[in-house]
Amino acid sequence: MATSLLAFITAFAVVFLVELPDKTMVATLVLTTRYRAWPVFVGVVAAFAVQSVVAAAFGSVITLLPDRLVAGVVALLFGIGAFMLLKEGFSRDSESADEAGTQTVVPFWRAALTSFGVLFAAEWGDASQLATAGITARYGAPLAVGLGAWLALVTVAGLAVLVGRKLAGRLPTHWIQRVAGVIFAVFGVIALTQVF
């Protein structure tokens, strides 16, 4: 029980931190400026649920491997995540939600399905997906990790939908990406020490 709780808390904290400056948050912000908030939120939450299940399942498969190999895979996943976050955090290109257009009135399900498709595609290979798989492999608690990751994603999506473009303008996203990248690197080094 303690391991599951720790896995849940770790997954929530890491994924929440990683998602704040992420492209998926920006995509949610942009979608919210184009469509009504409720269908966007429903589509995004559904996409995150599917992606969390995929990531936790991948992490569970990893746990079937020998311990040293698992530690190596976990180190690799966190290393890739650290690289991606640090690269974005130190890049000069900054994505902005300012390019959002005016809000379009479309049927609920069309806006929800559009939001689902955009976020489902954006999450593949994303740092939060890699983190979810890595944390699942580390703790061997796919349900707790998947739920923690999904709730973190939903929380960030809720913030994006509620606050809209103002949130993106006030957060120093490059610093959040850098901090998250360093945290990923530390997790990767810890896992790497278990390989040898």
Would you state the pLDDT for residue 145?
A: 94
Q: What is the mean pLDDT of residues 93-100?
A: 43
Domain count, the chain: 1
User: How would you class 127 by CB atoms within 10 Å of its CB: exposed for 0-12, middle for 13-18, buried for 19 or more?
Assistant: buried
H runs (alpha helix) in the chain: 2-19, 23-34, 37-62, 67-90, 108-123, 127-139, 142-163, 165-170, 173-193
In a domain, 141, yes or no: yes
pTM greater than 0.85: no
Task: Show the tokens assigned to 93.
Answer: 């290109």
Identity of residue 1: M
* Measured distance CA(65)–CA(133) in Å, rounded: 14
Task: Establish if 15 belongs to a structural domain.
Answer: no
Exposure of 64 by Cβ count < 10 A (0-12 exposed, 13-18 middle, 19+ buried)?
A: exposed
Predicted confidence (pLDDT) per residue in 139-178, tens digit? 888 999 999 999 999 999 988 887 654 544 555 667 666 7
Residue-range definition of the domain harbouring residue 71: 1-10+25-88+103-169
Band of pLDDT at residue 97, cut at 50, 70 and 90 = very low
- Please check whether residue 67 lies inside any domain of the structure: yes
Residue type, 3: T
Inside any domain, residue 187: no
In angstroms, the CA 72 to CA 66 distance is: 10
Contact assessment for residue 181 and residue 79, using Cβ atoms and an 8 Å cutoff: no
**Domain-embedded: residue 37:** yes
User: Does any domain span residue 152?
Assistant: yes
Question: Does a structural domain hold residue 79?
Answer: yes
**What is d(CA 23, CA 117) in angstroms, rounded to the nearest whole number?**
14
Note the pLDDT tens digit of each residue in 36-81: 888 989 999 999 999 899 888 888 887 677 778 877 877 887 788 7
Within 10 angstroms of residue 124's Cβ, the number of other Cβ atoms is 9
Is 47 domain-assigned?
yes
Give the whole-angstrom CA distance, residue 168 versus residue 176.
Answer: 12
34 is written with which tokens? 């184009």
